[in-house]
Amino acid sequence: MASFTFGIGKGLREPCSPNREANVFGAALNTPNATGWNCLAVLVNPTTSFDLSLISSGCEVVVALLGVNNTVEGEVSVRFRWHRDRDNALLFSGTYSLPTFAGGWFFAYSHIGYLPWELSENGAYSVDISASGAVTFSRSISFTISGITPAEPALPPPTGFAVAVVEALNTVSSRFYEIYRTVYEWPPPIYYLGTSFYSLSSLFNSLAWGASTFFTTFNELWAWVHNTLSWDTIWSFIIDRLPRLADLNTWFYNWWYNVNSVVSSWWTSTMGTVQGWIQVAKQYAADLFSSVNAGLLTLQGAWDNFKGRIPTIEQVIYWWGNWAGNVNTVLTTWWAGQLLEIQGLINSAFTARQSLWAGWQEMRDNVAGFFDDPVEYIWDRFIDWFLGPEV
């Protein structure tokens, strides 16, 4: 069964070779690093009270640690959520996904700094540590902050936005890691896809660290500007360089009256011209309407002339309902009307070509007589040919 070690303190130590340490209290922001250690980390100076008068603003203060021994194979998601007890404000949240192995171990840590949007006032705070997945764990640890002088300004930074961005990137990284763990156990070649999802998980994890660093640097710069320059000083510098800016400020204070005056003056001088444009447009529209109306009347007249010759939809449907009979009637009527004309064409054609078969009847009779009695036919012609015709 898994065993847990947890707590908060001022640093971390590696209790095996090469015995590395990661100091947190007073360290530069985001510099403490315990990645790649060879055994479970332990706390250095574990405590629940932190005096910030010993360090300067813009440094790390508290580190929270969760160590797990004798794990089972799978994946675990560890979350650290830092709160201010006075108003239960969420100051920072970080989620980390880790692979676990049978009989193995892992540890996760998170730190919070002396910053206007994190530890910015004396009082009570707490950190919630939870784990889900291959192992389950949940604890809340309270601690106190002292040594912050009342004169130190407490800026209202974009805590919610910064935390939401970092947490969203960490969530995406965790999801891709879950996909990687699932795909990696599939048979080849599908499990090769796991490498791509692992790379995506690492990418979004790097983006989360980058976003955290960016917001930290931005807010440090904002805190420096806020602590170094008061608004009165900044405004005096601006007025010195832009002396007429005060007049501009006065103008914007009465911007509605000023804009209204300019618009009213412009409209008074332009109103006649605009009204002239409107009259021209109205006349153009009237002429266009008259032209279209005349065209419609012409089209209506043409339709009245042709509509008596165009069958209705009902007539067309009725005709096609008996199309075979209607086609036969049309052809019969057409043929009756064309028959006499065709006969006349045939007669005229024979008359025109009468010379081509003139004498053919007599030739036909001679041919028929020859085949009926060839000897008699030749004998009769023989007498005519040699004796001549009878006198």
What pLDDT is stored for residue 153 in this prediction? 43
Q: What is the pLDDT of residues 172-206, one digit of tens each?
A: 777 776 776 676 566 666 655 666 766 776 777 67
3-state DSSP of the chain: CCEEEEEEEEEEECCCCCCCEEECCCCECCCCCCCCCCCCCEEEEECCEEEHHHCCCCEEEEEEEEEEECCCCEEEEEEEEEEECCCCEEEEEEEEEEEECCCCEEEEEEEEECCCCCCCCCEEEEEEEEEEECCCEEEEEEEEEECCCCCCCCCCCCHHHHHHHHHHHHHHHHHHHHHHHHHHCCCCCHHHHHHHHHHHHHHHHHHHHHHHHHHHHHHHHHHHHHHHCCHHHHHHHHHHHCCCHHHHHHHHHCHHHHHHHHHHHHHHHHHHHHHHHHHHHHHHHHHHHHHHHHHHHHHHHHHHHHCCCCCCHHHHHHHHHCHHHHHHHHHHHHHHHHHHHHHHHHHHHHHHCHHHCCCHHHHHHHHHHHHHCHHHHHHHHHHHHHHCCCC
What pLDDT is stored for residue 114 in this prediction? 93
> 55-64, 350-359, 382-391 — which one is most confidently predicted on average?
55-64
pLDDT at 59 over 70: yes
For the residues 310-317, what does the mean pLDDT come to?
66
pLDDT at 96 over 50: yes
The structural domains of the chain, ordered by start, are: 3-228 (2.60.40.10), 361-391 (no CATH)
Q: What is the pLDDT of residues 135-168, one digit of tens each?
A: 999 999 999 999 998 644 444 444 566 677 777 7
For the residues 73-86, what does the mean pLDDT come to?
94
The more confident residue out of 14 and 170 is 14
pLDDT more than 70, % of the chain: 53
What pLDDT is stored for residue 75 in this prediction? 93
Lowest-confidence pick of 234-248, 260-274, 286-300: 234-248
What pLDDT is stored for residue 74 in this prediction? 93
User: Confidence class of residue 10 from pLDDT cuts 50, 70 and 90?
Assistant: very high
What pLDDT is stored for residue 154 in this prediction? 40
What pLDDT is stored for residue 166 in this prediction? 73
What pLDDT is stored for residue 174 in this prediction? 72
